Amino acid sequence: MASFPFILQVQNSHSQIELNYNGQQLEFDQPDLEGTKQSSGCLPCGPSSSGFRSIKTVEILNITIRQENTLVVATCTPKNGPKNESALEMFEFQVKDLALAQQWQQNVLSHVYKDVKQGRHYKILVNPFGGQGHAKRIWEHTAEPLFKAAGATYDLTYTTHRYHAKEIARDLNIRQYDAIISISGDGVLHEVVNGLMERPDAVVAHKLPLGAIPAGSGNALSFSLLGEDHGSHVGNAVLGILKGKAMAVDLCSVTQKNSRFFSFVLQSFGLIADVDLGSEHLRWMGEARFTVSAVGKLLSQASYPCELAYIPEESNVEKIRAEYNNRRNQPVAWADQTHDEMDQAHATIVDRYGSVVDPIKESDGWVVEKDRYITVVGAKLPWISKGSVSHPAAQPNDGLVDLLVFPKDIGRAAGLQVMIGVETGEHVFHEKVRYMKVKAFRVTPGAAAGYISVDGEHTPYEPYQVEPHRGLISVLSVDGRFARSMRE
């Protein structure tokens, strides 16, 4: 779980409540716990081994002083529980010394929102039809109270049609907002990214940070930021949005015929695209639909002809893992640092390896092969959905795309082993699987019909070429890196 900038411990001894922060301690006279709206099971609760009756670790969202003698601490508890569990709790304390309380309030808040602005203004997009249709409820019941308690403001739109989010991002007065937040799956963010990149001022607009609150069938960004255990927890996602900094993240340019658009999650051909786009009838299952559908298709051993071309950077999985671990020990790259030095490069976002209609230049180091494949998938995020760490070595801004290839002759038994491995990312070490870091790749389908999915969106069954651009967008993140997705 991400470590947030500041954690408050509320310790409840037999006789007093203490709010401890960085060694400072402020005691409050007879805290008025009776009259507060705190959720049950919070304070007081059962004995703990530490000698205190309870020690509770919470995240502070805000501290306000009401009517000169009541200090209100709004907190959110990061949880691992059911995703719609309300995480907001308010603690009220009677203040003995107002001046001291005000000083403490300022002091604590300056640490809680260290390096980030408290009370940001957000553009929020809710897709009421995303996933199993719970986005509106998730917003109203869980997310909105947290935004309000934190003192954040927002302008909310319920999307009413396909491409609505794209239109909004294209026309938005970006100077009025600190970030765009989607409450849906990855499809809405895909539209937002493309809307920003289509603007005449894309060179500025690409910097507007994005945030995701998981409410769709595929929540790749949430899982990639928060990890398998926390990726579907709304409270954790909101904390990342309220307290996160802008992390630079690569964006892939995708060319098809004479058009170009952008992808921040994955570009898939074969099985994964079929699962993504051909499992609509299983929508009621939520995220499980992808696993159920993938097992079925893998057992059928269907493979798809194509010409696959790629420019390899590294094809040895052990070396990829070593580099992954090496990068995790380096300081993270926040967008405010990287974007400044990259503005020049972004002024015209040119694909170095041309487009899909250009002939392949041997001097660029392309490798070309023609075969049948079960699936070919490029990705910039490690998780593609819950329980699917398909590209465990994916890095936010290494300027490369991770390419996963399942060959045609994988076999049913090995196929099932691989499927199980996808849950933890271990499949990349399977002898039948190919996993590479590439600078670009091109897929030319060899049959007339089939599925190509880009960020979960249906894409014409035509040749496509993918090239990553380093740190082109930014995403609100507390850690400045994706959750660990590859073993050490």
As measured in angstroms, the least distance from the Cβ of 304 to ligand ATP is 21
Q: How far apart are CA 115 and CA 78, in angstroms?
A: 21
Which listed residue (218, 227, 231, 396) binds ligand ATP by CB under 6 A?
Answer: 218
- The C-alpha torsion from 239 through 243 and 245 to 250, rounded to 10°, is 10
As measured in angstroms, the least distance from the Cβ of 360 to ligand ATP is 32
As measured in angstroms, the least distance from the Cβ of 5 to ligand ATP is 29
Give whichever of 52 and 158 is closer to ligand ATP, judged by the CB atom.
158
Which listed residue (31, 195, 209, 216) binds ligand ATP by CB under 6 A?
Answer: 216
Give whichever of 209 and 218 is closer to ligand ATP, judged by the CB atom.
218
Whole-number CA gyration radius for the chain: 24
Q: How far apart are CA 320 and CA 486, in angstroms?
A: 10
Give whichever of 384 and 403 is closer to ligand ATP, judged by the CB atom.
384
Q: How far apart are CA 277 and CA 272, in angstroms?
A: 9
Q: How far apart are CA 234 and CA 322, in angstroms?
A: 33
Find the binding residues for ligand ATP in span 242-261 (CB under 6 A). none
Find the binding residues for ligand ATP in span 137-176 (CB under 6 A). 159-164
As measured in angstroms, the least distance from the Cβ of 405 to ligand ATP is 24
Contact between 130 and ligand ATP by CB under 6 A: the answer reads yes
Q: Are 476 and 261 in contact (CB under 8 A)?
A: no
Contact between 231 and ligand ATP by CB under 6 A: the answer reads no
Which listed residue (31, 78, 131, 415) binds ligand ATP by CB under 6 A?
Answer: 131
Instruction: Mark residues 176-205: x for contact with ligand ATP by CB under 6 A, - for none.
Output: --------xxxxx--x--------------
Give whichever of 31 and 456 is closer to ligand ATP, judged by the CB atom.
456
Sign, Cα dihedral of 387, 390, 391, 395: negative
Give whichever of 130 and 415 is closer to ligand ATP, judged by the CB atom.
130
Contact between 453 and ligand ATP by CB under 6 A: the answer reads no
Residue number closest to ligand ATP, CB atom: 185
As measured in angstroms, the least distance from the Cβ of 474 to ligand ATP is 20
Give whichever of 73 and 215 is closer to ligand ATP, judged by the CB atom.
215
Contact between 270 and ligand ATP by CB under 6 A: the answer reads no
Q: How far apart are CA 289 and CA 284, in angstroms?
A: 8
As measured in angstroms, the least distance from the Cβ of 457 to ligand ATP is 6
Give whichever of 216 and 227 is closer to ligand ATP, judged by the CB atom.
216
Q: How many residues bind ligand ATP (CB under 6 A)?
A: 22
Find the binding residues for ligand ATP in span 86-105 (CB under 6 A). none
- The C-alpha torsion from 38 through 147 and 263 to 218, rounded to 10°, is 30
Contact between 224 and ligand ATP by CB under 6 A: the answer reads no
Contact between 387 and ligand ATP by CB under 6 A: the answer reads no
Give whichever of 320 and 379 is closer to ligand ATP, judged by the CB atom.
379
Contact between 232 and ligand ATP by CB under 6 A: the answer reads no
Which listed residue (127, 142, 395, 465) binds ligand ATP by CB under 6 A?
Answer: 127
Give whichever of 110 and 157 is closer to ligand ATP, judged by the CB atom.
157
- The C-alpha torsion from 248 through 242 and 194 to 286, rounded to 10°, is 110
Among 59, 66, 53, 73, residue whose Cα is nearest residue 11:
53
Contact between 21 and ligand ATP by CB under 6 A: the answer reads no
As measured in angstroms, the least distance from the Cβ of 293 to ligand ATP is 12
Which listed residue (456, 463, 468, 471) binds ligand ATP by CB under 6 A?
Answer: 456
Residue holding tokens 């299952």? 285
Residues forming the site for ligand ATP (CB under 6 A) = 127-131, 159-164, 184-188, 191, 216-218, 456-457
